[in-house]
Amino acid sequence: MAKKATGKTKTADKKSYELFNRDTQAFIYNMQVNATQRMLDFDYAAGREKPSVAAIVNPTGSESLQKFFYGPKEILVPVYKSLGRAADKHKNVDVLISFASFRSAAKSAEEAFEIPGIRTIVLIAEGIPERQMRLVNAKAKKLGKVIIGPATVGGVKAGAFKIGNTGGTIENIIESKLHRPGSVGFVSKSGGLSNEAYNIISRNTDGLYEGIAIGGDRYPGSTLLDHLLRYEKDPNVKMLVCLGEVGGEDEYAIVDALKAKKITKPLVMWVTGTCSKAFKTEVQFGHAGAKADAEAETADAKNAALKKAGAIVPHSFDDYAEKINETYKALVKKKIITPAPETEAPKIPLDFNKALSAGVIRKPASFISTIADDRGEELMYGKMTISDVFKKDIGVGGVLSTLWFKKLLPPYATKFIDMVIMVTADHGPAVSGAHNTIVAARAGKDLISSLVSGLLCIGPRFGGALDGAAQQFSDALDRGLTPQQFVNSMKQKGANIQGIGHRIKSIHNPDMRVTIIKNYVKKHFKSTALLDYALEVEKITTSKKDNLILNVDGVIGICFVDLLRSEFTKEQADEYIQMGALNGLFVLGRSIGFMGHYLDQKRLKQGLYRHPWDDIAYLTE
C-alpha cells in the first residue's frame, strides 16, 4: 500500500517552478495505447535517455507487460491494476496523467493525493462535476499538488516531456520544433489553440520552452496566472505568450500581477472571443467557462485591461504572430535571448499501416521474450553474451539462473542449483517416470516420445513435491504457525505434508542426498529460516514414525525458498514458486536420468553389450 500523504510533496530533483524535466517519468491512468506511443515517440525525438512513461495503471485489466516502440526498437511497459502498486514499484515517478472518464477522474486524483511522490496530476476528462473539481482543487492546494485540467490536452516541455496527445503527431511535433527547447513560455485554456500557438511560436521565435493548456472547464486545477508566474521565475523562459478567452475573470488576475510587477518579462497576450459582440445574445463558445455573463467578462474588456496594465496585446488574432515576432526580435537585439540552435530530430519509423504502401515497415514481434536474443552478433543470455558465459565460467547453475530468474545468482546459489540437478538426475529404474521411459523405449518409441512418457508421470506422487513442500511450509511459517500447529492443521485436513516421508529411508537410515544438501545449505546460505522450521517439523513427524523424514523433494523445495527469499523480494520469490519453477528443477534433473534409461534400453535391444558382466544390471520386478 502507498503511504498516506500528510503534507506538501517534496521533489528533490526539481525547482519549485519546474513541473517537468528530461528525467521526469509519469504513470498513465487507463490503457491509452496511442497516447502512450506518442509520448514515447516524442521522447525518442527529444533524445531522452529513458522513456517518460514508467507504467500504465489499468484498474479494469490484469497486471502484464505492454509492448511499445521506442524509436525503431520495442520496449516493455509494465501494467498494474492499482496506482498504489505502481507507485510502490516506481518511486521516482511524480506525474500522473489520468485518462479516467468524467465519472472516475476525481477518484483517480484522490488516489494520487495518497501518494506523496506524485506532485503533478493531469486530468484529461471533460464534464467532471463542478462541485467535485472544487473539492479536488482545494485538497490539491492544501497538499501542494499541481493539477492541470480538467478538459485539457495537457502540455509539453520542449525537448523534455510531453503529456499524452499534446502537439499531435510526431511530424507536427518536429515541425513545431518541440523536440528541442526554445525561450518562450506559453499558457492557454484551449488545447486546440495551444497546438496552433506552438506552431506560431516556432515560426516567429526560437521556439517553445514550455506550454500548458489548463483546460476549458469553469474551475480548472491551475490558472493561467499560476503558470505565468512559474515562467516568470524560470530563468530559461525569456518571454511569455498567453491566450485567454471570453467568460470568467481569470485574466484580471494577470492584469493585477502586471500592475504589481509580479510579471516583469514581456507578455504577449490575446483574449479570444471578440466576435461575441456581433451576436445579439451571449453565445457559449465551446468551453464550459467561455461565456460572458457581464461586460467585464467580454474579450474586448479583458484585452483593454491587459493592454493598459502593460501586456503586449495585438489588434486581433490575425497579428498575434506579428507581435510575438516583434517582441522576440527586440529581446534578441538586447541580447536577453540567444537564439536556440537548430537540431535535427531522429527519424521515427512509421507504423505498419502507414508504412505499408511506402515500404517502410515497423512490425511488432509475434512473441515476447525477455531472457534470450539471437538476433545480434552473438547469442545473448539476458544481458550476457554467450562468450561471457564461458569466459566467466558461470556453469549450468549460472545459465539456469540467468534464463529462469533473469539474473546471475551468486556462486553459492549456482552451485546449489548444480547440486539439485545432480541429486535428482536419477532414482533407479523402478520409479514410475523411469519405468515408463523404459517401457516406451522397449516398445520401439523414439527418444522424445520415451522421454515425454516418463516426464508425464511427474506429479504429487512422484517428483512433484518440490513446489508443494515449498508452498505448504512457507505458508505455515508466514502465518506464524508453530511446527506443532502446522502438523495438527494438516492432520485435521486429512492431507499429507508434502516433502515428508520415505518408503525406505528413516531417521536411523538417512538419505545421503538430503544430508549433502542440508550440510551445504547450512554452511553457505544467507538464511535458513524455512529449513530450520522444516527440521523442527521433522522432529515431530519422526517421533510418530521414523520414516516420516524430510525427503529429497522436500529439502530441495524448502531450501530453494530460503535461496529465493535471500536474493529476491518475498513477493518475487512467491511468484516463482506459484509458477512451478521448483518442480522445473526436478523435470530438468530427471530428464537426464530418463535419457540414460532410454539409451540403456536401446543398447540392450541392439546387443551392444558384448560382455554382459562389464555392466551391473539393475533388474526390476
* Residues designated as active site: 287
By CB neighbour count within 10 A (0-12 exposed, 13-18 middle, 19+ buried), where does 442 fall?
Answer: middle
Amino acid letter at 269?
M
CA distances from 309 to 224, 251, 304, 350 (A): 16, 11, 9, 48
What H or E segment, with its residue span, contains residue 320?
A: helix 320-333
State the CB neighbour count (10 A cutoff) for residue 587: 17
Whether residue 554 contacts residue 424, with contact meaning beta carbons closer than 8 Å, is answered with: no
Q: Which residue pairs from 16-21 have beta carbons closer than 8 angstroms and sit at least 24 positions apart in sequence?
A: 16/233, 17/229, 17/230, 17/231, 17/233, 17/234, 18/230, 18/234, 19/95, 19/119, 19/120, 19/146, 19/157, 19/230, 20/95, 20/120, 20/157, 20/160, 20/161, 20/210, 21/157, 21/160, 21/161
Whether residue 610 contacts residue 459, with contact meaning beta carbons closer than 8 Å, is answered with: no
Closest CA to 567 of 404, 393, 391, 419: 404
Say if residues 469 and 558 touch (Cβ distance below 8 Å): yes
Do residues 140 and 113 make contact, with C-beta atoms less than 8 angstroms apart? yes
Q: Any idea which residue has 504589481 for its cell?
A: 260
Q: Are 491 and 484 in contact (CB under 8 A)?
A: no
| Sequence-distant (≥ 6) Cβ neighbours of residue 35 within 8 angstroms | 28, 97, 99, 164, 165
